[in-house]
Amino acid sequence: MGDRAQESERPLATEFVVLWQGYLVSQVGNQALTIVVLYWALDTTGSATMMSLLTATSVVSAIVFGPIAGALVDNVSRTRVLVVSDMLRAAAVGLLAVAMSRLAARDVLPVMFLAMAVNGAAAAFAEPAAAAVIASTIRHTQLNVANSMWQVTRQVSVIVGQAFGGLAYRTLGGSVLLAVDAATFVYSAISAFVAGRLGGFERFGEAVSAAGFWRTFVDGFQYGRNRPGLLPFLTGVSMFNAAIAPVVVLLPLYVTQWLGQGVAWYGFLLASLTGGAVCGSLAAARSRATGTRRAWLLVGAFLGVGLCLVAVSVIRNRWMVSAVLAAAGAMSGAVNVMVATFLQATTPDRYRGRVLSLHATGSRALGPIGMLLGGVLGDLTGGNAPIVYAACGGSAVVIAAALARSTQARSFLATDRTNQ
């Protein structure tokens, strides 16, 4: 244990730090795309449906390309995947910036849909590539630290980007803000290239033909099917994410109708969730749990999040609600880090891209469905957000109980590092 602790305290690999700081810059900048698209759609069309369609375009694109992204990541240079993904996003966002500055509103809209589609597709390729690179670059005992940094970067970038993005949009204009966003993607691509040169990231296979790519694609599904517990676990995680997805969507309704508070408390409770997630991600960086202990810790965190949601469906004291939501966020943040580390450490390198892509695609696919069902349930109950929260929490508890009762799932979660 002492050796593990000492090893985890060593400085992280230089190539990871280079890759991470590029990711940090691009993530803060990428918030500009969401802000510009939503504000522009609101100002120009005044249509909530158009805002939803533009947002959904990115999600659907990522879902469509997700299954093939993992196979590509496991076949070609992962550095190349990262560089090309970032450059494609830079080109799409830059094209939208030019369109907004030169074209009429009716001509901008198709370019905006294109930019959102490219952004979603590129993310589907970049995320498993980055996760696979992290796993092959970082020592096994430092994976929690690296994943914690990655998750916190994502969470903080949303806070910072959204806090200043709206003001920048009104002050600088959408085209200038998008030009800055495009520049951050170029910077991220350069960082990925430099990190690849420093780390010499491996290239797996030479399956550039359609037949070879298809074999890799099928082989990934066979691996998932033949590895006991993998697919049930990934399904459970995706269902869990879908179960809790309506929480943020219905939070304004919960705050106004259940707590009787205004927009200030909506922001405060949202900050409690996000702040808790950041704290949970940081705490997970210190985790030394392995084997059976890690399995029960993960199941316990799933259960804890569900119980927190059930609790806020009956609590009316706003300060207690804030504390409970912070706890739920902390457990959710810790789960994200631990699940990422677990999948990276226990999946052979040649399959990592496909497994990590499958995990991301499942969460993306079921998340919007969970939001939709939560909205429908909210309408059916006359806007009774606590009932929806209780249903979300109860569903999460059932999923956690199913994982706890499944011997195969517990054995899978107790697996330590797989031979690479």
Contact 306, 394 (CB under 8 A): yes
| Predicted confidence (pLDDT) per residue in 374-398, tens digit | 878 877 888 788 998 999 999 999 9
In this predicted model, which residue has the larger pLDDT, 418 or 189? 189
Q: Say whether pTM exceeds 0.85.
A: no
Q: How far apart are CA 205 and CA 208, in angstroms?
A: 9
pLDDT band, very low/low/confident/very high, at 29 (cuts 50, 70, 90): confident
* Cα distances (Å, whole numbers) of residue 22 to 34, 194, 360, 417: 19, 10, 21, 29
pLDDT tens digits, one per residue of 118-130: 999 999 999 999 9
Which CATH homologous superfamily contains domain 13-206? MFS general substrate transporter like domains (1.20.1250.20)
207 — pLDDT class (breaks 50, 70, 90): very low
Tokens for 98?
């030019």
Confidence of residue 209 (pLDDT cuts 50, 70, 90): low
Work out the average pLDDT over 410-419. Answer: 74
Helix (H) or strand (E) holding 90: helix 78-102
- Residue 298 has phi, psi (to 5 degrees) of -65, -45
Across residues 282-287, what is the average pLDDT?
A: 86
In the predicted model, is pLDDT for residue 5 greater than 50? no
- Among 113-127, 131-145, 315-329, the minimum mean pLDDT is found in 131-145
Q: Which of 4-18, 51-65, 290-304 has the lowest mean pLDDT?
A: 4-18
Topology alike, domains 13-206 and 227-420: yes
Average pLDDT estimate for 339-355? 87
- pLDDT score recorded for residue 419: 47
Domain ranges of the chain: 13-206, 227-420
Alpha helix locations (H) across 138-250? 143-172, 174-199, 210-226, 230-244, 246-249
Q: How far apart are CA 401 and CA 405, in angstroms?
A: 6
pLDDT score, position 85: 94
State the CATH architecture for 227-420: Up-down Bundle (1.20)
d(CA 293, CA 290): 6
Amino acid at 145: V
pLDDT at 12 over 70: no
Instruction: Report whether pLDDT(76) > 70.
Output: yes
The model's pLDDT over 96-112, given as tens digits with 9 standing for 90+, comes to 999 988 888 788 889 99
Q: Is the pLDDT of residue 4 over 70?
A: no
Percent pLDDT > 90 in the chain is 25
Rounded CA gap, 5 and 54, in Å? 46
